[in-house]
């Protein structure tokens, strides 16, 4: 039997893997009778953990919103454009304005 070494950070970027996780989350949400607005329609898989060392968390272990915005802005724009193209940019702008207001 051959053994393969798989780089999980690469798997997280693969659309096929993302779709598998998304479908599983949707199945779980529906099995638990979540309302439609709580069923995810898109996700971003991330291999790198949020830590204070990489500045994604503050020293008090809260989300470092400016750094998260910088790191995920493009990914969120792409996700919103894919999921709901007609309102994608407006949703990103709203999310970013909320994130900045709450930081």
C-alpha distances out from residue 37 to 12, 33, 34, Å? 25, 11, 8
pLDDT recorded at residue 46: 92
The answer to whether residues 96 and 71 touch, using CB atoms and an 8 Å cutoff, is no
Residue pLDDT tens, the chain, 103 long: 777 778 888 988 899 999 999 999 999 999 999 988 888 888 999 999 999 999 999 999 999 999 998 999 998 888 877 877 655 556 666 666 666 665 5
pLDDT recorded at residue 95: 63
């Amino acid at each position: 039997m051959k053994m393969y070494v798989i780089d999980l950070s690469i798997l997280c970027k693969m659309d096929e893997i993302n779709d598998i996780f998304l479908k599983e989350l949707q199945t779980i949400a529906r099995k638990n009778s979540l309302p439609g607005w709580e069923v995810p329609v898109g996700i971003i898989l991330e291999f790198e953990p949020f830590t204070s060392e990489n500045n994604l968390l503050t020293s008090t272990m809260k989300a470092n919103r400016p750094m998260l915005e910088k790191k995920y802005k493009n990914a969120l724009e792409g996700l919103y454009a894919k999921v709901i193209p007609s309102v994608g940019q407006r949703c990103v702008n709203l999310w970013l304005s909320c994130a900045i207001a709450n930081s």
